[in-house]
């Protein structure tokens, strides 16, 4: 019996030993191997972590005046699982915040939102105090950063805007989004079993984003905005652009587009208000393009400054078509060809160059390629390879037809005359600084020699004659010598050149003999007059005069006061071929003009999500474009019917959900036209000739 008893005791002891051993192993497992996971679980149940929004960097003008800054605002948030009476709380909050009570209650009952949800952003102080007085458990406020533009519309397309998610949506805010965004901070607070919070601590402080210091001068920008608006109203035009550039460096001192929008309330304006027309809109330049042809011929030694050119009393036949001048000129000197804007004289200089050499000159001046400005949405324009030109192309291109350029491209080309023969890289941002004001990046001017200084001076002298004796008399300054060129080009409407819609322009520089600024004034579809010397030159005069005074450039006291300008400018060349048909790529791209087609807006259900990359809609039917927009949670704004021929923002642009994409549709056999345009673009980029075809 004693042996049996001893055996039972041994079994019990062995069992207790094994049980203790297993407990010990489990304790070792929990304390050593699973310690971190349990600490994490405890932290999740006892501690809540929230991010602290980092202030976005400031955007300054060249004198450190704030153009865009950030302020702290309150956002009402909730943890619905802590709220006992969701329906009652939703009614109280909705009455204070102007929300729909039932919709708010539905959102608060959503299982996916039980731990955290945003009730409303940007709460005003009075509403915040009323909600705090309610003392609702589970409803509290967090600080967020809101973008503010103190000058509202000033330089709106250049600055852009920041959307509700805190991402740059256009302009510099989009271009420099990574630099402007700061690094978010983190704070945490402990909670008890009743979800009451206590012991708040900041785990990681937020870091403000880098700030931009622009070349834009706020005062000059104001002048440009004011005069552009005045020019639009005076001529009853649909749109316009003004650019003021520092001649030597390419720094942009002012860039204005009309119509404008308020950056603070960007979502109240159509998407096409946001686009920067100076870099994203294509047009045929007209007479201002004669400068390129004349300069190239002079540089190549194919003409002389004092040469007399026979303008054949105002007409010349090229490729079976007759080119006309607005007045019958006989012998004109090289300078007088530019002063009087002779189409015949320009065409003769173009023919001396020949197709290949003229094409190479266009490319050297920067046409058909991006200027490299630090703004989003810039297009390359349209310069077809010389092997795809028709027999009359050399004449038409010589005075600005059959090519598509941007305002910035043509300004940059004229600027090469102003600075003695250099093509510069335009820029907006001078430097980037960190939150302490220390330098992160500084831009250095980029210049490429295009021509001999003597060539540039000869063309500049001819340009001065345009203001003194030619079509630009109304651009004459007081106390400063200036030079410039007028332009009056027909627009393409319905696949043909219009006899009533024009793009008027004046581009010039001052003061001579050492220009400091180059200025473009461009008015789209003026109704009260249409010559560049009448519509644009007076506003060039005011902008340039005031800008030179602001830059403290002393006037020449020995200069006599300018002669009284005529009330109506001397008739400029109208720069067109009677009954001409535009080249197919330009005819297709011209379909985006809002005034030519009915506009409609299609509402699309939108939701949250990451930035979407816009596909290329061109060539798609409207139904397919709409389906793609629905898939991407973006809003479609369409014009016309048929297939897509133009879109804004451009393909490849990253936009947030809920944004608007404007797409223009047109009927007809446009797929082949668009294919030809794309083939031409590709050929230009690769320097390979496009497919050959019959030449007219």
Question: Do 180 and 78 fall into the same domain?
Answer: yes
- Identify whether 436 is part of a domain: yes
Which residues does 400 contact at the CB level (< 8 Å), separation at least 6?
A: 284, 285, 286, 287, 288, 289, 290, 487, 489, 575
Q: Of 223, 226, 222, 230, nearest to 528 (Cα)?
A: 230
CA distance 1 to 491: 119
Q: Of 376, 371, 291, 378, nearest to 337 (Cα)?
A: 291
The burial of 607, by beta-carbon neighbours within 10 Å (0-12 exposed, 13-18 middle, 19 or more buried), is given as exposed
Specify the 3-state DSSP secondary structure of 141. strand
Here the tokens at position 401 are: 């037809």
- pLDDT value of position 52: 66
**Which residue matches tokens 């054949």?**
312
Number of helices and strands (H, E) in the chain? 22, 29
Whether the Cβ atoms of residue 482 and residue 467 lie closer than 8 Å to each other: yes
CA distance 367 to 360: 10
- Identify whether 691 is part of a domain: no
- pLDDT value of position 692: 33
Out of 582, 614, 647, a domain closes at 582
Question: Do 267 and 202 fall into the same domain?
Answer: no
Question: Do 634 and 542 fall into the same domain?
Answer: no
Omega cis (within 30) before 612 = no
Specify the 3-state DSSP secondary structure of 419. coil
- Identify whether 8 is part of a domain: no
CA atoms within 13 A of residue 270's CA, in its CB half-sphere? 15
Specify the 3-state DSSP secondary structure of 197. strand
CATH of the domain at 640: 3.30.10.20
Question: Do 159 and 210 fall into the same domain?
Answer: yes
- Identify whether 43 is part of a domain: no
Question: Do 365 and 441 fall into the same domain?
Answer: yes
What residue spans of 596-656 are helical by DSSP H?
622-632
Give me the residues paired with residue 657 across strands. none
CA distance 577 to 205: 66
CA distance 316 to 591: 31
Which residues does 396 contact at the CB level (< 8 Å), separation at least 6?
A: 402, 577, 580
- Transcribe 225-283 into DSSP letters: HHHHHHHHHHHT-SEEEEEEEETTT-BEEEEEEES---GGGGGGS-GGGTS-HHHH--B
CATH of the domain at 83: 3.90.1310.10
Whether the Cβ atoms of residue 521 and residue 288 lie closer than 8 Å to each other: no
Give the largest CA-CA distance in the chain: 144
CA atoms within 13 A of residue 570's CA, in its CB half-sphere? 18
Question: Do 526 and 412 fall into the same domain?
Answer: yes
CA distance 476 to 499: 29
Question: Do 395 and 465 fall into the same domain?
Answer: yes
Question: Do 353 and 392 fall into the same domain?
Answer: yes
Question: Do 536 and 668 fall into the same domain?
Answer: no
Q: Could you tell me the sign of the dihedral formed by the alpha carbons of 97, 100, 101, 105, in that order?
A: negative
What residue spans of 214-354 are helical by DSSP H?
218-235, 277-280, 290-299, 334-339, 343-353
- Identify whether 16 is part of a domain: no
Q: Of 567, 566, 501, nearest to 530 (Cα)?
A: 501
Q: Tell me which H or E stretch contains 128.
A: helix 125-134
Question: Do 647 and 573 fall into the same domain?
Answer: no
- Identify whether 187 is part of a domain: yes
**Which domain does 467 fall in, by range?**
218-582
Work out how many domains the chain is built from and give that number.
3
Whether the Cβ atoms of residue 531 and residue 569 lie closer than 8 Å to each other: yes
- Identify whether 146 is part of a domain: yes
- pLDDT value of position 590: 63
Question: Do 184 and 273 fall into the same domain?
Answer: no
Question: Do 360 and 466 fall into the same domain?
Answer: yes
Whether the Cβ atoms of residue 645 and residue 669 lie closer than 8 Å to each other: no
End-to-end CA distance of the chain: 125
3-state secondary structure 481-527: CCEEEEEEEEEEECCEEEEEEEEEEEEEEECCCCCCEEEEEEEECCC
Out of 582, 609, 643, a domain closes at 582
**Which residue matches tokens 């010589």?**
398
Specify the 3-state DSSP secondary structure of 60. strand
Out of 558, 582, 606, a domain closes at 582
CATH of the domain at 386: 3.40.710.10
- Identify whether 267 is part of a domain: yes
- pLDDT value of position 584: 59
Pick out the chain residues at pLDDT < 70: 1-4, 38-52, 187-203, 562-611, 639-640, 667-696
CA distance 591 to 180: 36
- Transcribe 642-667 into DSSP letters: SEEEEEESPTT-EE-TT-EEEEEEE-
């Amino acid at each position: 019996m004693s042996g049996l008893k001893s055996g039972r005791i041994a079994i019990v002891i062995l069992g207790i030993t094994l049980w203790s051993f297993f407990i010990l192993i489990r304790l070792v497992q929990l304390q050593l191997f699973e310690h971190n996971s349990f600490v994490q679980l405890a932290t999740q149940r006892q501690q809540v972590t929230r991010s602290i929004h980092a202030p976005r960097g400031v955007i300054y003008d060249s004198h450190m005046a704030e153009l865009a800054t950030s302020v702290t605002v309150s956002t009402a948030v909730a943890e619905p699982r802590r709220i006992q009476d969701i329906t009652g709380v939703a009614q109280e909050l909705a009455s204070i915040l102007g929300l729909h009570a039932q919709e708010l209650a539905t959102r608060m009952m959503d299982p996916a939102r039980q731990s955290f949800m945003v009730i409303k952003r940007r709460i005003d102080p009075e509403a915040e105090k009323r909600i705090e007085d309610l003392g609702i458990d589970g409803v509290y406020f967090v600080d967020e950063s809101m973008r503010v533009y103190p000058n509202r519309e000033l330089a709106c397309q250049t600055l852009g805007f920041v959307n509700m998610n805190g991402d740059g949506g256009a302009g510099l805010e989009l271009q420099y989004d990574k630099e402007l965004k700061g690094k978010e901070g983190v704070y945490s607070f402990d909670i008890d079993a009743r979800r009451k919070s206590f012991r708040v601590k900041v785990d990681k402080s937020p870091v403000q984003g880098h700030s931009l210091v622009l070349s834009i001068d706020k005062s000059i920008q104001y002048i440009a905005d004011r005069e552009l608006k005045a020019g639009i109203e005076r001529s009853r035009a649909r749109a316009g652009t003004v650019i003021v550039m520092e001649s030597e460096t390419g720094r942009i001192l002012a860039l204005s587009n009309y119509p404008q929008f308020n950056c603070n309330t960007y979502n109240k304006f159509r998407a096409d208000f946001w686009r920067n027309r100076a870099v994203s809109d294509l047009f045929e330049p007209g007479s201002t393009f004669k400068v390129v042809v004349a300069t190239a011929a002079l540089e190549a030694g194919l003409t002389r400054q004092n040469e007399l050119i026979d303008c054949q009393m105002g007409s010349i036949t090229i490729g079976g078509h007759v080119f006309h001048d607005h007045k019958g000129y006989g012998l004109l000197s090289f300078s007088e060809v530019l002063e009087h804007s002779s189409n015949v004289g320009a065409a003769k200089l173009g023919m001396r160059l020949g197709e290949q050499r003229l094409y190479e000159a266009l490319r050297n001046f920067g046409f058909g390629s991006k200027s490299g400005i630090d703004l989003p949405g810039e297009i390359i324009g349209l310069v077809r390879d010389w092997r795809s030109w028709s027999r009359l192309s050399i004449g038409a291109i010589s005075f600005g037809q059959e090519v598509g350029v941007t305002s910035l491209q043509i300004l940059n080309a004229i600027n090469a005359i102003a600075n003695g023969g250099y093509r510069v890289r335009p820029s907006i941002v001078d430097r980037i600084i960190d939150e302490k004001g220390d330098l992160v990046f500084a831009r250095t001017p980029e210049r490429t020699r295009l021509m001999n200084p003597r060539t540039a001076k000869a063309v500049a002298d001819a340009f001065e004659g345009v203001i003194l004796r030619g079509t630009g008399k109304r651009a004459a300054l007081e106390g400063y010598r200036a030079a410039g060129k007028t332009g009056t080009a027909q627009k393409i409407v319905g696949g043909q050149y219009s006899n009533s819609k024009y793009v008027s322009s004046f581009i010039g520089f001052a003061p001579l003999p050492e220009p400091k600024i180059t200025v473009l004034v461009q008015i789209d579809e003026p109704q009260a007059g249409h010559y560049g010397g009448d519509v644009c030159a007076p506003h060039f005069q005011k902008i340039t005069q005031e800008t030179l005074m602001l830059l403290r450039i002393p006037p020449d006291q020995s200069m006599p006061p300018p002669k009284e300008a005529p009330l109506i400018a001397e008739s400029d060349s109208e720069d067109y071929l009677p009954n001409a048909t535009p080249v197919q790529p330009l005819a297709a791209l011209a379909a985006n003009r809002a005034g030519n087609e009915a506009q409609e807006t299609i509402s699309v259900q939108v939701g949250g999500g990451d930035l979407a990359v816009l596909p290329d809609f061109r060539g798609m039917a409207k139904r397919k474009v709409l389906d793609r927009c629905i898939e991407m949670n973006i809003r479609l704004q369409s014009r016309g019917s048929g297939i897509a021929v133009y879109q804004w923002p451009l393909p490849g642009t990253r936009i947030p959900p809920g944004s608007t994409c404007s797409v223009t549709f047109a009927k007809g056999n446009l797929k082949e036209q668009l294919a030809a345009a794309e083939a031409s673009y590709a050929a230009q980029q690769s320097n390979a000739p496009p497919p050959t075809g019959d030449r007219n």
